[in-house]
């Protein structure tokens, strides 16, 4: 009798846990995915998170969109949620002081060939993804933390299985997120982080905690 009561109690507890997990992390967002194939936008390259690139919507499935880097092979395409904080309407980079990586044909071209969204959209007969489809373009006017571009810190290299703590710099700021760059290393190791992440430590943390600090490369 007691055992069965316990098992029922456990089941109820687990059910509540499951329900919590579902409600917190797995629910399909209630907003509609208004992106359409062919719309153009600016997005952060997930393999090189320091780069804002010219992209097109290549496929839409439920709340997910597949993005294509204009002028680059489909092999680089990637999926993300329609409410991702890492996509922006055309013109956002220029307005927010971020350098935009144009399609290949504009790279290294000076003068008249310089990339312009207006010309590019006209030439490619493609629509700009409208501003209202983007989750949080307005949030970026507020920076709710004290991290600023250029500040130094000690951060875990998430690509390295040894969890190296390395000399790092805040390389970019996007509202409530900061871009971690490892000094002297290629930007493939960069990642966007919440400032409260346990992977981030202030300068001097390694020494104070007896953890080896991985110095800048070169």
Q: How far is CA 63 from CA 47, 74, 162, in A?
A: 22, 21, 35
- 209 lines the binding site for ligand MLZ (CB under 6 A): no
Nearest distance from residue 214's CB to ligand MLZ, in Å? 6
Measured at CB, which residue is nearest to ligand MLZ? Answer: 182
- 164 lines the binding site for ligand MLZ (CB under 6 A): yes
- 120 lines the binding site for ligand MLZ (CB under 6 A): no
The single residue listed with the structure tokens 């996509």 is 87
Q: What contacts 202, CB < 8 A, 6 or more positions away?
A: 153, 154
Binding pattern to ligand MLZ, positions 62-91, x when CB under 6 A? ------------------------------
Nearest distance from residue 189's CB to ligand MLZ, in Å? 4
- 157 lines the binding site for ligand MLZ (CB under 6 A): yes
Identify the residue among 88, 120, 134, 182 touching ligand MLZ (CB under 6 A): 182
Question: Residue 121 or residue 164: which is nearer to ligand MLZ going by CB?
Answer: 164
Q: How far is CA 160 from CA 70, 85, 124, 177, 191, in A?
A: 31, 25, 41, 22, 13
| Residues 214 and 206 sit within 8 Å (Cβ to Cβ) | no
Taking contact as CB under 6 A, which single stretch among the options 80-88, 91-99, 103-111, 181-189 is the one that binds ligand MLZ?
A: 181-189
3-state secondary structure of 195: coil
Q: How far is CA 35 from CA 31, 135, 205, 207, in A?
A: 12, 12, 44, 49
Identify the residue among 39, 44, 100, 166 touching ligand MLZ (CB under 6 A): 166
Choose among 46, 42, 68, 43: nearest CA to 57.
68
List contacts with ligand MLZ (CB under 6 A).
Answer: 157, 160, 164, 166, 182, 185, 189
């Amino acid at each position: 009798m007691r055992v069965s009561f316990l098992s029922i109690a456990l089941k109820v507890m687990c059910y509540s846990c499951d329900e919590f997990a579902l409600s917190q992390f797995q629910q399909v967002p209630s907003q509609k995915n208004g992106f359409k194939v062919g719309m153009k936008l600016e997005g952060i390259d997930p393999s090189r998170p320091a780069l804002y690139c010219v992209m097109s919507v290549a496929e839409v499935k439920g709340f997910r969109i597949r993005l294509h880097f204009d002028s680059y092979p489909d092999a680089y395409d990637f999926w993300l949620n329609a409410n991702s904080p890492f996509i922006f309407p055309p013109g956002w980079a220029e307005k927010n002081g971020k350098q935009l990586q144009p399609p290949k044909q504009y790279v290294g071209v000076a003068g008249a060939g310089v990339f312009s969204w207006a010309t590019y959209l006209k030439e490619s007969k493609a629509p700009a993804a409208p501003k209202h489809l983007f989750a949080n373009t307005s949030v970026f006017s507020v920076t709710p933390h004290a991290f600023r571009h250029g500040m130094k810190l000690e951060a875990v290299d998430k690509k390295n299985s040894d969890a190296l703590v390395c000399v790092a710099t805040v390389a970019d700021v996007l509202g409530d997120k900061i871009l971690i760059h490892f000094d002297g290393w290629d930007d493939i190791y960069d990642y966007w982080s919440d400032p409260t992440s346990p992977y981030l430590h202030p300068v001097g943390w390694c020494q104070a905690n007896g953890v080896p600090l991985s110095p800048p490369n070169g």
